[in-house]
């Protein structure tokens, strides 16, 4: 693939409602959009999911901008040519960490490659399903009444699986309330690392509610702690923040730290590493994975949908429709929920959506172009 030009846009997307987790609340979501242009005007798009501050990860939209412009893009644009998308991670491997920045540019090459081959991205990466199961991730609410009404509205809209964010003081009560009101709705919780083993009594209580899983209960570096916790619970433990690549997945398996992995391309450095984790955890070990989200725009969402079509994905994903997040998305058509609580895999090439350049230009606070030296 010839690389004619790489452009990075910094956009700020206003969420329809504030999203609150154990590490803070967001209403305005930054995103870096990466556009790679090939020879004949073809283009590919990727998204950097780093947040406003270093809370979920050490990366922020500003560190990602710096690392992209100073280190990552020069490694690719300087060559003027990239053979295959799967080689991008190898070309970027000299840079340690900064997985979200890497993923944004790697995804753009996958989208471009699939478009050049006139194939939907999901088929290009070995996906097998025509629709992906959509769940919704619900932030921490101000009261149980608000929680019940917010969840009620999502169920009304067709979502079939609910995940709620928890933190100390907002855990057993909301789970009990939801199980009482909606006993048949599959439910799981996500702590974003807000607990320690001292909270064992809370987890023992949560263990009574047949939750699908408990996501990232402990510190992101504490694989041994998760292994210890797992020995006390029947509810499966799912890791998110702790799994930064396939090496972490191997360590988690050897320690018995998790039964489930939430795969996010941003967290692990792109689609290639996501597929490697899927192949190890689901295909080789026979354990469950699903695809998580980071409140992506329609661009990042396209990459999530593609990953969710992989054969080993066996739980509903944190991939909701565009209108769960934003009044207006930056792709056409927006991602929509089908009647059965799924999102159909697209038939068009690449991520399967038209990316609205004019809208992106309008939303941009910063833009920079990179070209090979003539």
Minimum Å gap between C-beta 293 and Mg ion is 9
Q: How far apart are the first and last CA of the chain?
A: 17
3-state secondary structure of 234: coil
Contacts of 156 (CB under 8 A, 6+ apart): none
Residue 106 interacting partner from Mg ion, ligand OSB, none (CB closer than 5 to 8 Å by kind): none
Contact flags string 5-34 toward Mg ion, x per CB under 5 A: ------------------------------
Minimum Å gap between C-beta 153 and ligand OSB is 15
Q: What is the C-alpha separation between 152 and 309, in angstroms, rounded? A: 27
Among 295, 305, 306, 360, binds ligand OSB (CB under 6 A): 295
Number of residues that bind Mg ion (CB under 5 A): 3
Residue 320 interacting partner from ligand OSB, Mg ion, none (CB closer than 5 to 8 Å by kind): ligand OSB
Look up 264 and say whether it is catalytic: yes
Altogether, the residues listed in the chain come to a count of 374
Cβ-proximal residue to Mg ion, closest one = 240
Q: What are phi and psi of 26, to 5 degrees?
A: -130, 140
Determine contact, residues 14/158, Cβ cutoff 8 Å.
no
Q: What is the C-alpha separation between 170 and 149, in angstroms, rounded? A: 16
Q: What is the C-alpha separation between 59 and 308, in angstroms, rounded? A: 24
Q: Rg (Cα) of the chain, in Å, rounded?
A: 20
Q: Which residue number, 190 or 248, has a Cβ lying nearer to Mg ion? A: 190
| 294 near ligand OSB (CB under 6 A) | yes
Residue 7 interacting partner from Mg ion, ligand OSB, none (CB closer than 5 to 8 Å by kind): none
Q: What is the C-alpha separation between 323 and 16, in angstroms, rounded? A: 8
Stretch that binds Mg ion, among 159-167, 183-191, 264-272, 297-305 (CB under 5 A): 183-191
Binders of ligand OSB in range 214-243 (CB under 6 A): 240
Considering 20, 102, 163, 264, which one is annotated as catalytic?
A: 264
| 318 near Mg ion (CB under 5 A) | no
Q: What is the C-alpha separation between 241 and 322, in angstroms, rounded? A: 24
Cβ-proximal residue to ligand OSB, closest one = 293
Stretch that binds ligand OSB, among 108-116, 147-155, 197-205, 288-296 (CB under 6 A): 288-296
Q: Which residue number, 56 or 109, has a Cβ lying nearer to Mg ion? A: 56
Q: Is 248 exposed, middle or buried (0-12, 13-18, 19+ CB in 10 A)?
A: buried
3-state secondary structure of 352: coil
Minimum Å gap between C-beta 56 and ligand OSB is 5
Look up 102 and say whether it is catalytic: no
Among 111, 190, 296, 329, binds Mg ion (CB under 5 A): 190
Q: Count of alpha carbons within 13 Å of 315, Cβ hemisphere only?
A: 29
Number of residues that bind ligand OSB (CB under 6 A): 11
What sign for the dihedral angle of Cα 193, 268, 141, 19? positive
Active site positions, annotated: 165, 264
Interacting residues toward ligand OSB by CB under 6 A: 56, 137, 190, 192, 240, 292-295, 318, 320
């Amino acid at each position: 693939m010839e690389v004619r030009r790489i452009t990075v846009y910094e956009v700020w997307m206003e969420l329809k409602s504030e999203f609150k987790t154990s590490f803070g609340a967001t209403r305005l979501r930054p995103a870096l959009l990466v556009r790679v242009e090939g020879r004949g005007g073809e283009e590919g798009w990727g998204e950097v999911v780093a947040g406003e501050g270093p809370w979920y990860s050490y990366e922020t939209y500003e560190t990602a901008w710096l690392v992209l412009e100073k280190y990552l893009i020069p490694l690719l644009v300087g060559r003027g040519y990239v053979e295959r998308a799967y080689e991008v991670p190898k070309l970027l491997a000299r840079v340690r960490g900064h997985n979200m920045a890497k993923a944004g540019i790697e995804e753009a090459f996958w989208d471009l490659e699939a478009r050049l081959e006139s194939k939907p991205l999901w088929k290009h990466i070995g996906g097998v399903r025509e629709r992906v199961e959509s769940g919704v991730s619900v932030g921490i609410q101000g009261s149980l009444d608000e929680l019940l009404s917010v969840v009620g509205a999502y169920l009304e809209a067709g979502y079939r699986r609910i995940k709620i964010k928890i933190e100390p003081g907002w855990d057993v009560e909301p789970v009990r309330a939801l199980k009482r009101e909606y006993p048949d709705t599959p439910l799981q919780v996500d702590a974003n690392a807000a607990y320690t083993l001292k909270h064992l009594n809370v987890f023992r209580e949560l263990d009574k509610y047949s939750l699908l899983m408990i996501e990232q209960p402990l510190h992101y570096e504490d694989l041994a702690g998760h292994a210890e916790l797992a020995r006390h619970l029947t509810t499966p433990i799912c890791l998110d923040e702790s799994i930064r690549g396939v090496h972490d997945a191997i360590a988690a398996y050897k320690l018995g730290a998790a039964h489930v992995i939430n795969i996010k391309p941003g967290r692990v450095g792109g689609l290639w590493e996501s597929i490697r984790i899927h192949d190890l955890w689901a295909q080789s070990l026979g354990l469950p994975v699903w695809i998580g989200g980071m409140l992506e725009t329609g661009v990042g969402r396209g990459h999530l949908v593609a990953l969710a079509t992989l054969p080993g994905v066996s739980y509903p994903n944190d991939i909701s429709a565009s209108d769960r997040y934003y009044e207006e998305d930056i792709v056409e058509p927006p991602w929509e929920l089908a009647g059965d609580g799924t999102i159909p895999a697209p038939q068009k090439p690449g991520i399967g959506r038209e990316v609205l350049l004019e809208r992106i230009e309008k939303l941009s606070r910063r833009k920079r172009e990179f070209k090979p030296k003539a």
